[in-house]
A and B are shown apart, each in its own frame.
Chain A
Amino acid sequence: MARERYIKQLDLLKESVVSFGMMVELAFKDSMVAVIDLDVKLAERTLAFEAEVDKLEEGIEVSIFDLLALQQPMASDLRLIVSTLKISSDLKRIVGLSINIAKIPGRIEGGHIKPLIDTKKMADIAADMLENSIKAFETQDVELARATAARDEEVDKIFYAVWVELIEMMAKDTSIISKATYLLFLVRYIERIADHCCNICESVVYLTTAERIKLN
């Protein structure tokens, strides 16, 4: 086959994005355990991820710019490169949100104002979405991408329910406003992570079919 080195570079790019995705998944899951258990030590581990993630993302970007500048990619190769650029930017945003989540345990003293049952459920769905969107990218599975993005609705439902619940709690007892506000931020971060997973799924559809669609 012609252009073997180029094809290897493309494969490597894809693999890097998949590894990046797995790392991001870990960061998000750890940050959720840290916030639910208010485990500051675990939270610090997530915070330490930032530098590593930056390095990985930069490496991916450099490969993309090199491929664009030097190889004149066309057709599905071009779509792969454009998708990986967009996906790595979504993954970076998810890391940023996970880091925001990991900062919460250090700011809440003396336990949560309520058990985080629905919030955990919401985060579990978002984590599934993240895992499956990366899997859909790896296998270029359009059906999986669509099914994954469809779960955003479940996340949104829980988000609004928890939001309303927290507002009602604050209205009844103003002493919890500070802690409740962190929880409002928390659900908002998770909801945004699910949105980024939808973006990744859109990129998978584009990569595979060249169709640009909205799944969010």
Chain B
Amino acid sequence: MTETVLNVAQSQKIAQPHIEVEHLNLWYGEKQALMNISMQIPKNSVTALIGPSGCGKSTFIRCLNRMNDLIENCRVEGKVSIEGKNIYGTGVDVVDLRKQVGMVFQKPNPFPMSIHDNIAYGPRIHGVSKKDIDGIVEASLRSAALWGETSDRLKSPALSLSGGQQQRLCIARTLAVKPSIILLDEPCSALDPISTSKIEELIMDLKKDYTIVIVTHNMQQAARVSDYTGFFLMGELIEFGQTRQIFHNPRERSTEDYITGRFG
């Protein structure tokens, strides 16, 4: 498997990957959930992680901002470097890490406060001065393609927005603290097709400024939005490569079986 990863890296000549995962293993208690994962993710790219339920893709994405630290009995071995720095090394400030690596979840989870305050929350706790807040709110909502729909109702409760708008708000909230990486864990699975296509457009727009990793069950979505795709199965990264290659001519039989729906 390592060889496959290296081949991709070599063919892409990733001199300095934005995210580099080396021999990552993870256990929940006695149960090993990730097995020797290595992957290099280039800057300003979209990487989709696909695989059947329970294959480890969400567990993996949560390793990229140490969200698994919050789970009891969870043990991680190996190395995850972001811009060359091992995030599992000593002296890493996890709060700072999560500022740099933002995350959006399956179910939109706006705070029970106004649209404006949802976005302002992060910058405020990171000590941004009052006079800069409004500018950040506007810029974040614009980047998340939500400004047009909310500029005249910033004081309204965030929970009054539709599901799709709430999810874009969550993306805007993530952008407000100026991350360099955005992790999306099935961000469209609770959304209708129109909201989904808006999020997909947004992902493709955001790529120019951010590195994006998305977990999705929707294979067509992975094919549409991503530059690289990783296929996980039972805790292993079976194949990682350019999305074009994975969906056109996968090297591994199990990848082929999964994406053509022959699995099971």
Contacts and interface: CB of A to CB of B under 8 A. Distances in A.
B261 A210 contact: no
Contact of A210 (B220, B223, B248, B264): B248
A74 B263 contact: no
26 contacts: A1-B262, A1-B264, A2-B261, A2-B262, A2-B264, A3-B260, A3-B261, A3-B262, A7-B262, A74-B219, A74-B223, A74-B247, A74-B260, A75-B248, A75-B249, A75-B255, A75-B256, A75-B259, A76-B249, A76-B256, A77-B260, A78-B247, A78-B248, A79-B248, A79-B249, A209-B249
A6 interface: yes
Contacts of A209: 249
A72 interface: yes
B122 interface: no
Contacts of B220: 72
Contacts of A77: 260
Nearest to A73: B260
B263 A2 contact: yes
Chain A contact-residue range equals 10 to 19
A210 B249 CA distance: 6
B163 interface: no
Chain B contact-residue range equals 10 to 19
Contacts of A1: 262, 264
A72 B249 CA distance: 15
Nearest to B247: A74
Interface string A46-87: 000000000000000000000000001111111100000000
Contacts of B260: 3, 73-77
Interface of A: 1-3, 6-7, 72-79, 209-210
Contacts of A3: 260-262
B238 to A, nearest CB: 14
A2 B264 CA distance: 6
Contacts of B263: 2
B250 interface: yes
Nearest to A78: B248
Contacts of A7: 262
Nearest to A3: B261
Nearest to A71: B261
Interface string B224-264: 00000000000000000000000111100001100111111
